[in-house]
């Protein structure tokens, strides 16, 4: 089939082949620059049980299922730094999944008002004191609250269950919803690529 002396069939075939090459190159580049380095990083992290990675509209979206860790604040900072080092990109979203139960969720809900008040007033010492009281009332095994320039970190532990919440503060509060997600089902296990 010809139009104006051009073979349309060859043009269409060349166009399709070009698209396939471009798409394959992009997929290979993503695998080499993101998937493999992240896989290597996460498999070295003893507290990471599972992870998923996807490319969102705002950038890299990473969800991590964590085991029972000692300090969520330092673990979260270590994850962000490791992702940046492995990929050269700061994740747009870093979701942390825990192993919470109803008791921990109710305890956290009772603490939430003190956390919100601490965020609004900047009274983090009073917030920490109130969280300590609520944790003692709930007879938790251990708990911790931490604050840095970007987030408030809350971790609660009772028995085999644990809850992690990473709550944005300041300018991050308007830009992002809370970072921590509970019981996220992941689709990507720690498999070799």
136 CB contacts (<8 Å, ≥6 apart)?
A: none
Degrees (nearest 5) of the Cα angle 32, 97, 83?
30
Q: What is the pLDDT of residue 58?
A: 77
Together in a domain, 23 and 81: yes
Between CA 134 and CA 95 the distance in angstroms is 25
172 with 80: CB under 8 angstroms?
Answer: no
Together in a domain, 30 and 75: yes
Together in a domain, 80 and 120: no
Question: Is residue 57 in some structural domain?
Answer: yes
Element (H, E) at 131: helix 124-137
Together in a domain, 128 and 92: no
Q: What is the pLDDT of residue 111?
A: 95
- Both ends of the chain: CA-CA distance in Å? 44
Mean pLDDT by groups of 10 residues along the chain of 193 residues = 68 76 62 73 87 80 91 92 83 88 95 94 93 95 93 95 92 44 36 38
Q: What is the pLDDT of residue 16?
A: 81
The secondary structure of residue 71, as a DSSP letter, is -
Together in a domain, 113 and 88: no
Q: What is the pLDDT of residue 171?
A: 54
Read off the CATH number of the domain in which 47 is found. 3.30.300.30
Question: Is residue 193 in some structural domain?
Answer: no
Q: How many domains does the chain have?
A: 2
Together in a domain, 91 and 126: no
Question: Is residue 110 in some structural domain?
Answer: yes
Q: What is the pLDDT of residue 29?
A: 57
pTM summary value = 0.71
Together in a domain, 111 and 30: no
Together in a domain, 19 and 78: yes
Question: Is residue 54 in some structural domain?
Answer: yes
152 with 93: CB under 8 angstroms?
Answer: no
Question: Is residue 188 in some structural domain?
Answer: no
Question: Is residue 154 in some structural domain?
Answer: yes
Question: Is residue 185 in some structural domain?
Answer: no
Together in a domain, 146 and 90: no
Together in a domain, 169 and 122: yes
Between CA 11 and CA 14 the distance in angstroms is 5
Question: Is residue 186 in some structural domain?
Answer: no
Q: What is the pLDDT of residue 3?
A: 61
CA-CA-CA-CA torsion sign (176, 181, 186, 188) = positive
* 164-171: long-range contacts, CB 8 A cutoff, minimum separation 24: 164/66, 164/72, 164/96, 164/98, 165/108, 166/72, 166/76, 166/96, 167/115, 167/119, 169/119
Together in a domain, 93 and 44: yes
Mind listing the pLDDT tens digit for each residue in 84-139?
A: 888 877 777 889 999 999 999 999 999 999 999 999 998 999 999 999 999 999 99
| Host domain of residue 126 | 102-175
Together in a domain, 43 and 15: yes
């Amino acid at each position: 089939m010809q139009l104006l002396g051009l073979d349309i069939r060859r043009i269409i075939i060349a166009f399709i082949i070009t698209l396939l090459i471009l798409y394959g190159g992009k997929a290979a580049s993503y695998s080499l620059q993101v998937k493999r380095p992240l896989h290597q990083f996460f498999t070295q992290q003893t507290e990471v049980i599972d992870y998923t990675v996807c490319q969102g509209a705002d950038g890299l979206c990473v969800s991590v299922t964590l085991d029972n860790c000692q300090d969520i604040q330092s673990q979260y900072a270590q994850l962000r730094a490791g992702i940046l080092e492995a990929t050269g990109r700061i994740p747009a979203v870093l979701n942390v999944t825990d192993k919470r139960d109803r008791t921990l969720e109710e305890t956290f809900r009772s603490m939430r008002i003190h956390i919100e008040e601490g965020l609004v007033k900047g009274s983090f010492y009073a917030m920490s004191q109130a969280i300590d009281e609520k944790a003692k009332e709930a007879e938790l095994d251990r708990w911790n609250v931490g604050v840095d320039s970007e987030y408030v970190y809350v971790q609660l532990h009772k028995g085999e269950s644990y809850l992690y919440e990473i709550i944005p503060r300041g300018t991050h509060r308007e830009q992002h919803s809370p970072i921590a997600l509970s019981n996220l089902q992941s689709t990507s296990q720690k498999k070799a690529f």
